[in-house]
Structure formats: structure tokens, C-alpha cells
Amino acid sequence: MLWMIMADAVAAFHAAYIVFVVVGLAAILVGSLANWKWVRSPIFRILHLAAIAQVCLEALAEVICPLTRLESALRVRAGQSGYGRDFIGYWVDRFIFHDAPPWVFTAVYLSFGALVLLTFWIVPARSFRSERQ
């Protein structure tokens, strides 16, 4: 039971990571139009860029996401084969995982990463100096 709960927690964190990357980009674009100051925070912007950069590097290196590996290992420890069918695990897994060739995911990740980089030009972050003032 503990292993299954831990696997669900990893799956929930994985989903939150994805939401941070996707919603973060939308927030930057909407926030620039709405004049939300926090979307120009250099700390937020660097963390957001680092999050998608990690995904892009894993895709280019053809490495399985460490969160996916950890969740799978925990599910095996829980006596499950593959991904869990309990409520939380089922829906979080359905949200995260889709069937497509690996090149599709790499193209999507790299395109999304390029969009995040582009936002640094379209919606520049404040400098760290102005952040301290």
C-alpha cells in the first residue's frame, strides 16, 4: 500500500511539473498583456526555462524521464505491473502518457522549449538587480 501511495505521489508530482511548464508559458503570455509583474520575475523565468530544458535534453539524449522510471519502480514494488489502476494513478497517468512515436514527443518538447526561449525576447524578464529593489 505504501509503495502504491508513493507511486501516486510521484505521478502527481510529474503532473504538477507538466502543468508548471505548460501553464507557466500561458501565464507568461497572458501576464505580459495583463501587466502581471510576477511573470517577469527572473527566478520564475529561469526555473520555467530549466524545467523545459531538462525535458528537451532528456528527449534529445533518448533518456526515459527519471520520474517515469521512479513511478514504474514503485508500482513494481507495490506488486503492480506497469502503471497503477487505482483512481489517482489511473487519471494522472492518462493525463501524462500518450501513445505516439518517440520522435513526435521530441519534436513537441523542442518546439515548446523554443517557444519558452522566445518568450525571453517577447516578454523579457526583469534583471536580478531590479528584483532586489
Residue 122 falls inside a structural domain: yes
Q: Is the pLDDT of residue 91 over 90?
A: no
Q: Is the pLDDT of residue 77 over 80?
A: yes
pLDDT mean over 59-80:
90
Whether 112 is covered by a domain: the verdict is: yes
Residues in CB range of 96: below 8 A, 6 or more apart: 11, 14, 15, 18
Please indicate, yes or no, if residue 57 is contained in any of the structural domains: yes
Tens digits of per-residue pLDDT, 46-63?
999 999 999 999 999 998
pLDDT at 99 over 60: yes
- Residue at 118 is within a domain: yes
pTM value? 0.81
Written as nine digits, the cell of 116 is 519558452
Residue 82 within a domain = yes
Residue 132 lies in a domain: no
Specify the number of domains making up the chain. 1
Average pLDDT over residues 2-27: 93
Q: Which domain holds residue 81?
A: 2-127
Residue 133 forms part of a structural domain: no
In a domain, 44, yes or no: yes
